[in-house]
Amino acid sequence: MDNRSTPTPAFDMVLFGGTGDLVMRKLLPSLYQAHAASLLNQQGRLLALGRKAMSRDDYLALVEKSARQHVKEHFDAAAWASFCSRIDYLQVDAGNAAHYPALAEAVGQHPERVVVCYLATAPNLFAGICENLAAVGLNRPNVRVVLEKPLGIDLDSSNEINDAVAHFFKEEQLYRIDHYLGKESVQNLMAIRFANALFEPLWRREWIHDVQITIAEDLGVGTRGDFYDGTGALRDMVQNHLLQLLCIVAMEPPASMEADAVRDEKLKVLKALRPFSEQDVANKTVRGQYKAGAVAGQPVVGYLQEQGIPADSQTETFVAIKAEIDNWRWAGVPFFLRTGKRMQDRLAEIVINFRDVPHQLFSGPLSGSHTANRLVIQLQPEESIRLYFLAKEPGDTMRLQPAFLDLDFYKAFKVRRADAYERLLLDVIRGKLALFMRRDELVEAWRWVMPIMECWQNSSNTPPKQYTAGTWGPAASSALLSRDGISWHEES
């Protein structure tokens, strides 16, 4: 039986930042879904930590108000009440070492139980939290620590955090989370590639023309202006989410599905990414910033008018990059990465465009284009995989029309949809590291991004290109692809 259909071992999950947005919006709702599906051990406990003094009843009232609204499906009042019985609250200031003995006492000494410490806090607190955990013995082998992104603001700060954390916890105890790797369609991409003879022979430079990876949001920065302006789209999305998706697409078949076998192959991809010169940054990257426009028919302000944003900010809200991988499988195949806020739709997808057939037998506007054959893996808003091709239109003429095969796994298997955080939280409890970043992966990702970041920081006289909110980004993004004779998927 698949271990995902069986309950986890007994566990204590300690949620640092227990009153924060991530815990309320993602973690508790995902844990409830796992509970409702009987995937959590009956002895599993949730201990939320926060600086505010409140009783357990007060905290559960907050959970009812804040977390309950984010449970999107499969809600059952009895299951919710049973789930809430797992939850307790403890007042702990993460930066105050004097509060940790009470935490250690609450967790107790139970070597047979897994202890998960989820650090849903600012990354500048990670080192101090880990030191305080170790001081009260909560770094023993059965303790696992989940580190949320962003892990630093550049390579040096990332190394600093990782060095500090590694002083108290072994690498196999650290789970650097990227929720995009927990999405069902990303897992199915690996299955399609490595379990089927149909795709693997085609998954190389001889048959693939280009790859496009997009993560687009229709929302602006909202109330996160202060945080976002010091981060930007390159740090927030490219260095982690987009590069991790690129690795899944481009990696060689691992020797097994063991964690280090998978992560070794991802690391090889990151090491093979062609580094950027200053000229490359000018020619192969686009940075943009949204201005006032309309999204879903409603007027929205520009980035510089958002709360907490300086009037002269040059922080990018849009990035497009032409990446290249210097190895035998992918030499000459461009990988186009794109992300942005206040774009036309909320969308995350991977598009594999195959090359043309070597000789055209048919005439007409739909033939002779590599866009005819493409594999589209959509991650959001819905998860799906579609294979596009040309087929004959019914009738007495040889007219071609686009068609597609829709690989709907949920209809085929009739299973419940588990969201990304639910899958990853279950993997942490079970001790499965394959979907979490190893430190050397993180280092290589930062190393590749740093030249772009430094060039943009040094080009204060070249502000980000403006794009109207509710569009697909600056015109320069389309021009980036047009130089290779192609266009973005939605433009085709």
What residues are annotated to the active site? Answer: 241
Binding residue per annotation — 149?
Answer: yes
Amino acid at 315: T
Q: Which residues pair with 14 in a beta bridge?
A: 47, 117
Binding residue per annotation — 179?
Answer: yes
Neighbours of 193 (CB within 10 A): 17
Residue pair 92/103 in contact by the 8 Å Cβ criterion: yes
Query: 3-state SS of the chain?
Result: CCHHHCCCCCEEEEEECCCCHHHHHHHHHHHHHHHHCCCCCCCCEEEEEECCCCCHHHHHHHHHHHCHHHCCCCCCHHHHHHHHCCEEEEECCCCCHHHHHHHHHHHCCCCCCEEEEEECCCHHHHHHHHHHHHHCCCCCCCEEEEECCCCCCCHHHHHHHHHHHHCCCCHHHEEECCHHHHCHHHHHHHHHHHHCCCCHHHCCCCCEEEEEEEEECCCCCHHHHHHHHCCHHHHHHHHHHHHHHHHHHHCCCCCCCCHHHHHHHHHHHHHHECCCCHHHHHHHEEEEEEECEEECCEEECCHHHCCCCCCCCCCCCEEEEEEEECCCCCCCCEEEEEEECCECCCEEEEEEEECCCCCCCCCCCCCCCHHHCEEEEEEECCCEEEEEEEEECCCCCCCEEEEEEEECHHHHHCCCCCCHHHHHHHHHHHCCCCCCECHHHHHHHHHHHHHHHHHHHHCCCCCCEEEECCECCCHHHHHHHHCCCCCCHHHC
Binding residue per annotation — 341?
Answer: yes
Give, to the nearest 10 degrees, the angle between helix 155-166 and helix 126-135: 10
Compute CA distances 81 → 14, 35, 75, 85, 234, whole Å. 20, 11, 11, 6, 41
Sheet (strand 11-16) strand order: 87-91, 45-50, 11-16, 114-119, 143-147, 174-176
Binding residue per annotation — 236?
Answer: yes
Annotated binding site for substrate: 179, 183, 217, 236, 341
Annotated binding site for NADP(+): 51, 149
